[in-house]
Amino acid sequence: MDKQQRETVSSLFAIAASLERKWTNDWNTHNTLGFSKTHILLLEFLAIEGPKRPSAIAEHLQVTSGGVTVLTTKLLKSGFIEKTQQTTDRRASQIAITDKGKELLDQSQQQIEALVSNMFGMLSHEELATLQTIFTKCLTK
């Protein structure tokens, strides 16, 4: 990597960190649901993929198994997810979104749309698609 590439990568690193902080601050400022964005991402994952083992949730969200426990405890207590034992292996549990959780996910979409509009609203559809491609490519390497 040459000097110019290093400087550009360093700048991108700083920009990515700033975007993450801005996203988190905006979410925390405007959040009326009482759940973190990671809670919402967990609910969305379960809504799309169906019941999952905690290890699959940890891998998808890129958190530790302890992190999954912390995230799911609040959602379980509130009735937004449920934990079931597999019939073939009683030691293995699965987490599933409930109807109440789907309602919370629907409510969160309005907040997410406002945040996305605030952060990326000035970009065209093509620019957003390019960003998505680039970010996805960076995550899959």
Tens-digit pLDDT profile for residues 11-49: 998 998 998 899 888 888 888 888 998 999 999 999 999
Name 58's Cβ contacts closer than 8 Å, sequence gap at least 6: 64, 65, 67, 68
CA 67 to chain centre: 13
Strand partners, 93: 85
The per-residue pLDDT for 11 is: 92
The per-residue pLDDT for 108 is: 92
The per-residue pLDDT for 84 is: 87
Mean pLDDT, residues 47-60: 95
DSSP class of 137: H
DSSP class of 50: -
pLDDT for 62-104, tens place per residue? 999 999 999 999 999 999 999 988 767 667 789 999 999 999 9
> Cβ of 44: how many Cβ atoms within 10 Å?
16
pLDDT for 118-136, tens place per residue? 889 999 999 999 999 998 9
The per-residue pLDDT for 62 is: 92
